[in-house]
Structure 1
Amino acid sequence: MISTNKFKSDTFTITKLFFTWLQIGFTSFGGGTTTQYLIQEQFIYKHKWITDEEYANIIGMCQITPGMNIIAYTILIGKKLAGGIGIFISLVGLILPSAAVTIVLTTIYTSISKSSKVHSALHAVFAAIFGIALATNWRNVQPIIIKNYKRGSMIFGVTIAIMIGSGAIYIFLNPSVILLYVLGGLCGAAAYWYISKKEVRVNK
Structure 2
Amino acid sequence: MILLKLFLSFFKIGAFSFGGGYAMLPLIQEEVIEKNNWLTSNEFIDILAISQITPGPIAINSATFLGYRISGVLGSIVATIAVVIPSLIIILLIAHFLNKFKESKYVEWTFKGVRPVVIGLIASAGIFVAKDAIIDIKSLFIACGVFYIINFRRVHPILALIIAGIIGGILY
- Confirm or deny: 8 A CA contact 1:55 1:140 kept in the other structure: no
Runs of 4+ with deviation above 4 angstroms: none
Query: Could you tell me how far apart the structure 1 residues matched to 2:128 and 2:91 are?
Result: 27
Task: Look at both structures and tell me which one has the larger radius of gyration over its CA atoms.
Answer: 1
What is the TM-score when the length of structure 1 is the normalising length? Answer: 0.77
Paired position in structure 2 for 1:3 = none
Gaps of 5+ in 2: none
> How far has the Cα of 1:141 moved from its partner?
2.0
Aligned residue among 53, 58, 78 for 1:64: 53
Determine if the alignment matches structure 1 residue 42 to structure 2 residue 31: yes
- Confirm or deny: 8 A CA contact 1:44 1:51 kept in the other structure: yes
Gaps of 5+ in 1: 1-11, 149-155, 193-204
- Confirm or deny: 8 A CA contact 1:24 1:38 kept in the other structure: yes
What do residues 134-180 of structure 1 show as CA deviations (whole Å, max 9, x unaligned)? 111111221122xx2xxxxxxx1111111111111111222222111
SS in 2 for 1:48: coil
Paired position in structure 1 for 2:164 = 184
Q: What amino acid does structure 1 have at the position aligned with 2:74?
A: I
Paired position in structure 2 for 1:124 = 113
Aligned residue among 64, 68, 71 for 1:79: 68
What is the TM-score when the length of structure 2 is the normalising length? Answer: 0.90
- Confirm or deny: 8 A CA contact 2:13 2:27 kept in the other structure: yes
Alignment of 1:154-173 (within 5 A): 156-173=136-153
Paired position in structure 1 for 2:21 = 32
Taking only the aligned residue pairs, the percentage that are identical comes to 26
Query: Could you tell me how far apart the structure 2 residues matched to 1:97 and 1:129 are?
Result: 17
Query: Could you tell me how far apart the structure 1 residues matched to 2:69 and 2:127 are?
Result: 23
Query: Could you tell me how far apart the structure 1 residues matched to 2:92 and 2:48 are?
Result: 28
> How far has the Cα of 1:117 moved from its partner?
4.3
SS in 1 for 2:54: coil
